[in-house]
Structure 1
């Protein structure tokens, strides 16, 4: 069977995706500051020219990686409640997803994004917008699950719980990466499962929960 030839647009998109995949591996391995354009190009099997044909800078690549991760995360979170099922099934599915989402690679990228946003105002708004989009998806998931268990939350209350979940998850990953000898991967997961399950199933009791 004759292989279909890619169009110019398809070839460009393929090159762009390979550069993004390569950049993700190198950023996780070396960090944004220590990574050069040549590192990314070499990892992807392309030249510097190919990199600059698709991106203006390493920072632009990082933001694109965060956008890709944010879109994937939001889609997966929304699917948790859309799939339906009994409240306990949805809660179990959500707990499993949020626990699995505590990944070193994803955390490393968002940590680099947070540092970039704190040091360069030009990137602060787009990075914070992507982070807030993930938090919004998480808070809506929490509201939906808690409502199914007869415990309604306001948007502000759900947002606070979503921020708490994100902060605990990030804190666990940071502690594990910087002080790994004192906490096993299983230990991180156990703490995460306990907190996520508490938020989704019980959480703090607000006045309007009654």
Structure 2
């Protein structure tokens, strides 16, 4: 087996640290998880953490990026094969039932955002990520509106902001009370599409 280059070795270390931090942050929370604990659980020294991440905030941003990538992959997979608006909304609802209100993920997002309120650099990083998500939603809305000849009731950017805000709020509510139905979000998408709600 070929020996890893320095860059490959560092990438593997970073990957393992991110995966371990994700497990710990989701299980124990952001504040309760120290960098020492991440290093120890991953089988590395604390120095290895600092050679890959400037601080715990940067590590948590990497973890959130990983979670968002996983959710995008899940929703993309769910939407593949849906060939009409009804199929798309049904597929989206299936993803939403599984993901919106996940207690560990929701708690991590809220805790980290709350902790970041006094840190302009982290708030800026979160704002960049939030805008990227809104832009992706707006692009999807625009594409599907063109594909299915739908006139959105507001700009795609505003619709994306509304849907993301509703999704975040619904996620927090469902993390507290999982019995709250998720169908309100697909129903709002149906309203945007001019379709009757379920």
TM-score computed with the length of structure 1 as normaliser: 0.76
- When structure 1 is superposed on structure 2, of 136-145 and 30-39 the one drifting more is 136-145
On the 8 A contact 1:80/1:94 being kept in 2, the answer is yes
Q: Which moved more, 1:73-82 or 1:106-115?
A: 73-82
Unaligned runs of 5+ in 2: none
Count of residue pairs the alignment pairs up: 191
Greater mean deviation of Cα atoms: 100-109 or 54-63: 100-109
Cα displacement (A) at 1:145: 4.0
- Deviation of the 1:117 alpha carbon: 2.6
Instruction: Give the conservation status (yes or no) of the 8 Å contact 1:74–1:137.
Output: no
- 1:27 aligned to 25, 28, 32, which one? 25
Which residue matches 1:126? 125
CA 1:101–1:138: 2 relative to 1, 3 Å? farther
Q: Is the 8 A contact 1:23 1:61 kept in 2?
A: yes
TM-fit CA distance, 1:114: 1.0
Q: How does 1:90-129 map to 2 (within 5 A)?
A: 90-102=88-100, 103-129=102-128
Write out per-residue CA displacement over residues 93-139 of structure 1, whole angstroms, 9 at most, x where no aligned residue.
Answer: 22222333323333233213311331211211111111221233234
Change (3 A) 1:124 1:32: same
Once superposed, what is the RMSD of the aligned Cα atoms?
2.7
When residues 30 and 8 of structure 1 are mapped into structure 2, their CA distance, relative to the original with a 3 A threshold, is same
In the alignment, does 2:167 pair up with 1:169? no
Contact 1:28 1:105 in 2 (8 A): yes
Conserved 8 A contact 1:27-1:35 = yes
Deviates more, 1:10-19 or 1:80-89: 80-89
The partner residue of 1:202 within 163, 169, 191 is: 191
- What corresponds to 2:50 in structure 1? 52
1:107 counterpart SS class: helix
Structure 1 gaps, min length 5: 177-182, 206-210
Q: What is the Cα deviation at residue 52 of structure 1? A: 1.5
Compare 101-110 and 79-88 and name the one that shifted more: 79-88
Judging by fraction of residues, say which structure has more helix: 1
Q: 1:204 to 1:118 in 2, by over 3 A?
A: farther
After TM superposition, the score normalised by the length of structure 2 is: 0.80
Structure-2 separation of matches of 1:139 and 1:42: 41
CA–CA separation in structure 2 for the residues paired with 1:17 and 1:121: 26
- Residue 13 of structure 1: how far off its partner (Å): 0.9
Moved more, 113-122 or 10-19: 113-122
Q: 1:90 & 1:16 partners in 2: Cα distance?
A: 36
The aligned residue for residue 136 of structure 1 is: 135
Match of 2:37 in 1: 39
User: SS state of the match for residue 131, structure 2?
Assistant: helix
| 1:10-47 alpha-carbon deviations (Å, 9 max, x no partner) | 22111111111111122222222222111111111111
Bigger Cα displacement from structure 2, 32-41 vs 84-93: 84-93
